[in-house]
A and B are shown apart, each in its own frame.
Chain A
Amino acid sequence: MSVTEASHIGRPTNRVDGPLKVTGQARYAAEYPAPDLLYGYLVGSTIAAGRITAIHLDLARSVPGVVEIFTHENRGKAAWLDRSWRDEVAPPGHPFRPLHSERILFDGQPIALVVAETYEAARDAASLIHAEYETAEHCTELERKRSEAYVPPEKRSGIPPPPDPRGDAEQAFEEAPVKISRDYRVNAEHHNPMEMFGTTCVFEGEGRLTIYDKTQGSQNAQGYVTSVFGLKSKNVRVVNHYVGGAFGSGLRPQHQLFFAVMAAIELERSVRVSLTRAQMFHIGYRPDNFQTVSLAADREGRLQSIMHDVVAATSRYEDHQEVVVNWSGMMYHCDNVKLSYRLAKLDTATPCDMRAPGAAIGVTALECALDELSYEVGIDPLEIRRLNFASKDENTDKQFTSKALHACYSEGAAAFGWNERKPEPRSMRERQELIGWGVSTGMWDAFLQKAEARAKLSADGRLEVSTAASDIGTGTWTILTQIGADAFGIPLEDVTARIGDSTLPTSPVEGGSWTAASNGSAVQAACEAVKQTLFKHARKMANSPLAAAELEDVDVSKGRIFRRDDPGRSLTIVEVMHAADLQAIEETGKVGPSLLQMTKYVSYTHSAVFAEVRVDEDLGVVRVTRVVCAVAAGRILNPKTARSQILGGVVMGIGMALHEEGITDHRLGKIMNHNLAEYHIPAHADIEDIDVIFVDEHDDKVSPLGVKGIGEIGIVGTAAAVANAIFHATGKRVRDFPITIDKLIAA
């Protein structure tokens, strides 16, 4: 049975969850009511390293309404072994255990949970808790730990270490006629989804918990809770129907999940714990990093040598790893490549994947360096990228399943008007504003992960598709509905998608841009299985018009199963189910990566980003006035929601380029700008025109649906395109992100 002609897939359908979101009916984790709900409020440490010597609770306990205060001295029972605390995406190391002991590992580490009858009482009591500490020496400054950087001894699952060097990058660099070697840095960033982390743990009695958690993986959270608290899997259900953004911060269970569950178990009551915006800065973050990129070329601009060395921050207790430098070995053709990636331990919380982890910082440095090289060679920055196009992945010597990057370059350039660019820096201006145009390439993985789904077709023709996926704003509710509707040729209204619940078929965490390909393909597989069962029953019917047909001869649409070569020979779904005495047909579908294919092929999404900036010559104020992001991402299931993903990535990339920076006072080891006024994320006024182009890219290998995923690619390359545009406007290279006014004036 082949795929029915698509009538919903590929259309710019409005989000099916849209009406709930614009009317305020979509419920997020901290919004579920529960009888006799208690409120928890966390207290954080005020030092970065050391231990608690005393914690004074009397005043807090005397606040009317306070039910209990948990500290390391009276916390509930939790697992002893490290491995019980490891969630699906945990890096190697010793996972953080809240209230485990008196030891302080990072600024803001939760040291107490106040539980009270009202939110206000819990908050007030929390302010009355006073801890005494014995401080230990701390270091939160990556620069000071750079010399102690090490290659992580244990690799993080799913994160390939840098490839072995190829050719002789040092010698090639020495011998090349044109070369540059530069240091870059992308300062620490914080995810700051608009919804703060929250958990409502409903104590159902008889040992059962229903947990509404802000997470990118209901099953990851469920596994963590059962393992940490030794609970039976059937007694713990985690729900995350709506997630108010996450960008990676919800991949691993956050503090509030542990605390809400622990308090609910100990007090045998329902408990809600939310982090405050300030506390959101004490969880994982995009790690600070130092990068050195050395590039050499011949006089025509052909790359002769690429070297990329990175030192990135991690915590004392875990080796958080990302793919930062590998991109530099596969984005362009080059015979001599040497890449290295090391970590340095700081007294902070463990960093956490943030939108396009690794690529967002590594590609930024590479693409800025390539821009610098193009000026050294004296060729157009777009031309040098085209010239060095890699037709295979030279890190692994495997073919790309598809790579329509040339189309991104040409369609993006045409839409942007790149041909009008004057190459000289400071050559374009309007009144007091210098105008600059920059370009960058982007690249991100196209993963297919193991996923399962269930499809249930009812006799009335309605379809339900379910998988424990999460929609963090990505459009998952909508695309799964579209896929289900197309499988049976029915309207979207007749399809109900069910996601965001740990009791549904197995799903990976929502991340890495793999949800559309993985869960989408699983839903499609489940629908195909339903069709097969339907056909089996149809063929068995007395005098069946499909008796002589084979599976591949028939199709299902608009409530009928019919012969494709003779649609008149058909049966209605109702007839088939009636004859088989069925109310519904329910089947599961599974997908996973093909190991055989992986021996020959790799899959990536590509992009070309073009940015225009206007820089006030006197004040150094930078405006990003235009961005064109041309993306090759295989089949686009929904151009409307897909476009939004790219827009969001570009906006966050502009934030990386110009605004975002977690600032730590290294004398105290404390984050100082832990609020949205001082940690600036792009606002309406910062964002002008963004144009998104999806170029045609057919890929029959990447995933059964031909989908690559588009959650991360929008951010990759955007910061570099902006930085390169700033150079073109001003003639100044600022290699320390974000490019704030002070740096630009001083450059």
Chain B
Amino acid sequence: MLNVEQLRGPVDQSSKAGIPVSFVINGSRQELVIPPWITLLDLLREHLQLTGTKKGCDHGQCGACTVLIDGMRINSCLVLAVSRDGAEVTTIEGVAAGRDMHPLQSAFVEHDAFQCGYCTPGQICSAIGLLAEGRAHTRAEIREHMSGNLCRCGAYTNIADAIEHVMRQGAAAREAAE
């Protein structure tokens, strides 16, 4: 009996021939020719040396690889890079405004919202996405909508504190503006 592996032919994955794509990654345009089987996560980590985006499962189950694509948070391990030609990608390396950290980055440091730091870039990108969505108004909602980002060190209460702090600051700033 033949098994599935035996029916498959090998695919040339070393070929330089690939598909031309263009991304704006952290504000800079990248013209790339890449094979279609490369995930956005592997593209960032292995080809563009943007290792701030983490691989925690490669199956969309842990959220460590969360980046923002056109402002929306997404698991980059589940995205084939060629499928998002033209997209604007923001990774943890690109969330700060110049030399100043993003308010969530500062809040994570202040609230000790991490330990080993490996899930942290994903948590921060996810939190940026969450605040932009405007879906979270309470701590319970933060917890619910951040549940796609696992933290094995168990920094959850501190992460919620950090996000809540920035969420309230944002609300206060909006009120002051009105």
Q: Tell me which of A20-28, A74-82, A263-271, A501-509 binds B.
A: A20-28
What is the minimal beta-carbon distance from B174 to any residue of chain A, in angstroms? 24
Interface residue? A315 (CB, 8 A): no
CB-nearest residue of chain B to A12: B112
What is the minimal beta-carbon distance from A211 to any residue of chain B, in angstroms? 18
A-chain residues with CB within 8 Å of residue B112 when the two chains form the complex: 14-15, 18, 640-641, 643-644
Interface residue? A472 (CB, 8 A): yes
Bound form: Cα–Cα A669–B37 in Å: 33
Mask, B104-143, CB within 8 Å of A = 1, is 0110111010111111110010000000000000000011
Residues B117 and A64 in contact, CB atoms below 8 Å apart = no
Q: Tell me which of A329-337, A572-580, A612-620, A675-683 binds B.
A: A675-683
Bound form: Cα–Cα A14–B146 in Å: 24
Mask, A96-136, CB within 8 Å of B = 1, is 00000000000000000000111111001101111000000
**Contacts A194-B62, A276-B58; A247 near B14 (Cβ below 8 A):** no
What is the minimal beta-carbon distance from A639 to any residue of chain B, in angstroms? 10
What is the minimal beta-carbon distance from B155 to any residue of chain A, in angstroms? 6
Residues A64 and B59 in contact, CB atoms below 8 Å apart = no
Bound form: Cα–Cα A121–B61 in Å: 24
Interface residue? B73 (CB, 8 A): no
Residues B156 and A651 in contact, CB atoms below 8 Å apart = yes
Interface residue? B154 (CB, 8 A): yes
Which of A15, A62, A246 meets B109, CB within 8 Å? Answer: A15
Mask, B143-159, CB within 8 Å of A = 1, is 11011111111111111
Residues B120 and A689 in contact, CB atoms below 8 Å apart = no
Interface residue? A369 (CB, 8 A): no
Interface residue? B53 (CB, 8 A): yes
Bound form: Cα–Cα A28–B64 in Å: 13
Bound form: Cα–Cα A644–B38 in Å: 37
Residues A676 and B61 in contact, CB atoms below 8 Å apart = yes
A-chain residues with CB within 8 Å of residue B150 when the two chains form the complex: 194, 676, 681, 683
Residues B152 and A681 in contact, CB atoms below 8 Å apart = yes
Which of B53, B55, B91, B117 meets A196, CB within 8 Å? Answer: B55
**Contacts A121-B14, A682-B156; A33 near B144 (Cβ below 8 A):** no
Interface residue? A412 (CB, 8 A): no
Interface residue? A177 (CB, 8 A): no
What is the minimal beta-carbon distance from B125 to any residue of chain A, in angstroms? 10
Residues A648 and B118 in contact, CB atoms below 8 Å apart = no
A-chain residues with CB within 8 Å of residue B115 when the two chains form the complex: 245, 473-475, 641, 644-645, 648
Residues B156 and A245 in contact, CB atoms below 8 Å apart = no
Residues B54 and A130 in contact, CB atoms below 8 Å apart = no
CB-nearest residue of chain B to A117: B14
Mask, B68-107, CB within 8 Å of A = 1, is 0000000000000000000000011100100001000110
> What's the interface size class on A, roughly?
35 or more
Residues A24 and B53 in contact, CB atoms below 8 Å apart = yes
Residues A194 and B64 in contact, CB atoms below 8 Å apart = yes
Residues A120 and B35 in contact, CB atoms below 8 Å apart = yes
Which of B13, B109, B116, B144 meets A194, CB within 8 Å? Answer: B116
Bound form: Cα–Cα A27–B50 in Å: 10
Bound form: Cα–Cα A17–B117 in Å: 9
Residues A24 and B59 in contact, CB atoms below 8 Å apart = no
Bound form: Cα–Cα A117–B117 in Å: 29
Residues A684 and B54 in contact, CB atoms below 8 Å apart = no
Residues A19 and B121 in contact, CB atoms below 8 Å apart = no
**Contacts A24-B51, A120-B35, A244-B116; A130 near B6 (Cβ below 8 A):** yes
Mask, B161-173, CB within 8 Å of A = 1, is 0000000000000
Bound form: Cα–Cα A687–B91 in Å: 27
Interface residue? A44 (CB, 8 A): no
Residues B57 and A277 in contact, CB atoms below 8 Å apart = yes
Which of A64, A245, A683, A685 meets B10, CB within 8 Å? Answer: A64
Bound form: Cα–Cα A473–B158 in Å: 14
Bound form: Cα–Cα A148–B176 in Å: 72
A-chain residues with CB within 8 Å of residue B124 when the two chains form the complex: 22
Bound form: Cα–Cα A254–B116 in Å: 19
B-chain residues with CB within 8 Å of residue A193 when the two chains form the complex: 116, 118, 152
Bound form: Cα–Cα A452–B58 in Å: 39
Bound form: Cα–Cα A675–B77 in Å: 15
Interface residue? B3 (CB, 8 A): yes
Interface residue? B175 (CB, 8 A): no
> What's the interface size class on B, roughly?
35 or more
**Contacts A21-B120, A24-B93, A684-B149; A59 near B5 (Cβ below 8 A):** yes
A-chain residues with CB within 8 Å of residue B146 when the two chains form the complex: 684
Residues A687 and B45 in contact, CB atoms below 8 Å apart = no
Bound form: Cα–Cα A688–B161 in Å: 11
B-chain residues with CB within 8 Å of residue A128 when the two chains form the complex: 5, 8, 10
What is the minimal beta-carbon distance from B16 to any residue of chain A, in angstroms? 11
Interface residue? A647 (CB, 8 A): yes
CB-nearest residue of chain A to B149: A684
Bound form: Cα–Cα A473–B159 in Å: 15
What is the minimal beta-carbon distance from B65 to any residue of chain A, in angstroms? 11
Interface residue? A10 (CB, 8 A): no
Interface residue? B160 (CB, 8 A): yes
Residues A687 and B143 in contact, CB atoms below 8 Å apart = yes
Residues B109 and A31 in contact, CB atoms below 8 Å apart = no
Which of B154, B158, B159, B160 meets A649, CB within 8 Å? Answer: B154
Residues B38 and A120 in contact, CB atoms below 8 Å apart = yes
Residues A473 and B96 in contact, CB atoms below 8 Å apart = no
What is the minimal beta-carbon distance from B85 to any residue of chain A, in angstroms? 19
Which of B38, B105, B118, B155 meets A28, CB within 8 Å? Answer: B118
Which of A23, A28, A30, A33 meets B96, CB within 8 Å? Answer: A23
Residues A64 and B13 in contact, CB atoms below 8 Å apart = yes
- Which of B38, B106, B109, B115 has the most C-beta atoms of chain A within 10 angstroms of its own C-beta? B115
Residues A23 and B118 in contact, CB atoms below 8 Å apart = no
Which of A27, A127, A650, A684 meets B51, CB within 8 Å? Answer: A27
Bound form: Cα–Cα A475–B119 in Å: 16
Interface residue? B177 (CB, 8 A): no
CB-nearest residue of chain A to B42: A119
CB-nearest residue of chain A to B125: A24
Residues B143 and A684 in contact, CB atoms below 8 Å apart = yes
Interface residue? B28 (CB, 8 A): no
Bound form: Cα–Cα A244–B106 in Å: 20
Bound form: Cα–Cα A23–B124 in Å: 9
What is the minimal beta-carbon distance from A146 to any residue of chain B, in angstroms? 31
Residues A244 and B54 in contact, CB atoms below 8 Å apart = yes
Residues A689 and B10 in contact, CB atoms below 8 Å apart = no
Bound form: Cα–Cα A14–B15 in Å: 47
Mask, B25-39, CB within 8 Å of A = 1, is 000000000010110
- Which of B51, B53, B106 has the most C-beta atoms of chain A within 10 angstroms of its own C-beta? B51
27 pairs of residues in contact across A and B, judged by CB atoms under 8 Å: A14-B109, A18-B108, A18-B114, A21-B117, A23-B96, A23-B101, A116-B13, A120-B13, A124-B13, A124-B37, A125-B10, A127-B5, A130-B6, A244-B116, A472-B116, A645-B115, A647-B155, A650-B154, A651-B156, A652-B154, A675-B59, A676-B56, A676-B62, A684-B146, A684-B149, A687-B143, A687-B156
- A residues neighboring B (CB under 8 Å): 14-15, 17-28, 30-31, 33, 59-60, 62-65, 116-121, 124-125, 127-130, 191-196, 242-247, 274, 276-277, 472-475, 640-641, 643-645, 647-652, 675-677, 681-685, 687-690
Given contacts A25-B93, A63-B10, A116-B13, 10 further A-B contacts (CB under 8 A): A14-B110, A17-B117, A18-B108, A20-B117, A21-B117, A128-B5, A194-B151, A648-B155, A684-B146, A685-B147
In the A-B complex, the 8 residue pairs with the smallest Cβ-Cβ separation, listed nearest first, are A24-B52, A651-B154, A244-B118, A65-B14, A473-B115, A21-B117, A473-B116, A648-B154
